[in-house]
Chain A
Amino acid sequence: MQMTVLAIALFLMALIAYFFIAAIWASGAGQTMKNAERTRSRFILVLLAVGAVVTIVSLKSWPHSVAVTGPSTTVNVTGLQWAWDIDTEEVPIGHPIIFNTHAADVTHGFGVTDPDGRLLVQTQVMPGYVNQVKYTFDRPGTYKVICLEYCGAAHHDMISEFKVVAQSGAEQ
């Protein structure tokens, strides 16, 4: 997903930059722009229409949903300065894992990266709350848990690991 996001962002940034460069290039020429206000109105309507579509498509399925219909596994994770306490070393492949995250001291950011270092999922971990996040792993390997909320002078050392394996007991 990240590379798609980067490509879309770079395209939009280049598009906006193009309009600026074109106007800078044309500055001083005294162009007559009789339809500028009509163009502005259409531009606003297009932006609103695109926004409506993007909103509906991106929120049609709630990104934070932890609802499951089949078997799932629950993992309890506690963040503390500066380590992760995870109640399992292995999770099964192919069905949803619900991470229940707790904070023992300050706010942390629970982030899971795949064996290639790509961020898959995250949630804030906040004192006084149990924040849940769901993810279904589709390939075995060693995954890292990193901290994604600045939590003090050894924030970057808050790294832990778990394995995603093909066979493991699942609970309903």
Chain B
Amino acid sequence: MIKAKHQPQEAAVKFTMLLAGVVLLLMMVFGFIMRAAQGGMIEIDQALFYQIMTAHGAGMVGTAGLTGISILWYFTGRYVPLLAGVFWTFLGLFLTGVVLILGSIFIGGYAGAWTFLFPLPAMSGGFWSNEAAATFLLGYIFIGVAFLLLHLEIARKLIAAYGSIGGALAWPLAFGNGRAENAPPPTVVAAMASTLFNVMGIVVGATVLVSSLVNLMIPDFAVNALLAKNMIFFFGHVFINASIYMAVIAVYEILPEYLGKPWKTTRPFAIAWTMVFLFVLAVYPHHLLQDVAMPAWALIMGQVVSYLSGIPLLAVTAFSLLVYLRQSRVMYWDLASALLVLGVAGWSIGSAPAIIDGMIAVNKVMHNTQWVPGHFHIYLLLGEVAITFGFMAWLVKDPREKGLNILDLAGFAVYLLGGVGFTLMFLISGALSVPRRWAVHVPEWFLQDRLATGFALLVILGALLFVVSYAQGLRKKRTR
């Protein structure tokens, strides 16, 4: 094992993960309500549906970011001393942002979706006020500043410890004569790359958020809608991808305890992370494939990089995990290891429908159908969120116990079954041209909606078992 030099900030991260677990459950309930409403099983006001949709989107993306960076913070804290005060400031700013966002939605009626596509926040058609929209955008800015603070602390410490950005990214090994034994651990490489692209994404996001805020106050200050969309999707894509790339650090750090061998920084690994850094920044036009005013080269880049992005994931992270699993003589399964492996599997499997949708010709008949939530729910629900629950299970795991108890097994089984069924219903609906983000569905679409509602219930049940088990584990006050 790679020896930890420092003690991670366990209490702060454990507290944050408890908050995140509860919020994830709440957001899943929101998802359940939306699918039930689309299936005609319950009746809710359409304005409320879109408010719930906005809260679900912003809440899930925000919580994925929160859990991803908490995992990164925890494990990076093994290699460099991070200031605890920065994390608490981050959490304070983050929660302030959450309060502003929830207030803007459920008090102010804001329902402009998590993507705040310009100029929708300022043109609600009478459903929400400019003040509500401004409060929502301000909430995002608080959260953005919170992330920026944490990333700057991480970058500062990594650069100091490893000499430069390139040093922390293992460039001497990737592109020079550096030796693997002198390379930084995988956590450091992943933390440095994620920090770099997330900072860039957040800065661009802050720019378009402030521009939208000014537009709300001074309508004559118009932003070019296509430029704003580019900036929003650059920010949004980078942020949600960063959450997954940060969360995978839990796989690098925890699974070696089960596999009996360390996850090493090899040359393919180091090259892959530099490629990931470039791909995450360059791929965002695949969200704009139906914006025909975009330059053709940008759309082609979106399609090509979308495909290339799958290579580091499949050929490096997933491939290495599969090899390690086969080579291991001591691998055993408990809730943590099962969820972490599920997370990599879900992420990898979800990349297939995502990459196919990244082709311009396919996107022409799949974009903004339920195919889209289909693929991103696979690599979030069965990817990032599975890794998050795996990390939580590991945080409170009793080292004397090896194996899945009946409750863990039940939780894992219903979560997996529910997740697979729930996401398949989205994909099938997408193939049947059911649009995404519609409050009202026609009866022809009810079958998948209703089945998805049932599967969502299973997901919630599984997640509830994970969170309750985690809370019980916290009460036992085990220290690592």
Contacts and interface: CB of A to CB of B under 8 A. Distances in A.
Interface stretch (B72-80, B142-150, B187-195, B290-298): B290-298
B440 interface: yes
Contacts of A20: 318, 322, 341, 344-345, 348-349
A19 B352 CA distance: 14
A1 B365 contact: yes
B9 interface: no
Contact of B226 (A23, A126, A133, A157): A126
Contacts, number: 218
| Size class of the B contact interface (CB-based, 8 Å) | 35 or more
| Size class of the A contact interface (CB-based, 8 Å) | 35 or more
Interface stretch (B13-21, B98-106, B304-312): B304-312
Given A59-B300, A156-B440, A131 B291 contact: yes
B367 A152 contact: no
**Main SS at interface, chain A:** mixed
Contacts of A67: none
A127 interface: yes
Interface stretch (B111-119, B210-218, B404-412, B465-473): B111-119
A8 to B, nearest CB: 7
B308 A24 contact: no
B360 interface: yes
A3 B11 CA distance: 50
Interface string A139-152: 00000001111111
Contacts of B344: 20
A117 B288 CA distance: 24
B23 interface: no
Interface in B318-353: 318-319, 321-323, 325-332, 341, 344-345, 348-349, 352-353
**Main SS at interface, chain B:** helix
Contacts of A151: 120
Closest 4 CB pairs of A and B: A30-B329, A6-B431, A119-B433, A156-B438
Interface of B: 46-47, 50, 111-113, 115, 117-120, 123-125, 127, 224-226, 229, 268, 288, 290-293, 296, 299-300, 303-304, 307-308, 310-311, 314-316, 318-319, 321-323, 325-332, 341, 344-345, 348-349, 352-353, 356, 359-362, 364-369, 427-428, 430-433, 435, 437-440, 444
19 contacts: A1-B362, A6-B427, A6-B430, A12-B352, A13-B349, A13-B353, A16-B349, A23-B323, A27-B328, A29-B329, A32-B327, A40-B268, A59-B360, A81-B123, A109-B368, A148-B435, A152-B112, A153-B50, A156-B440
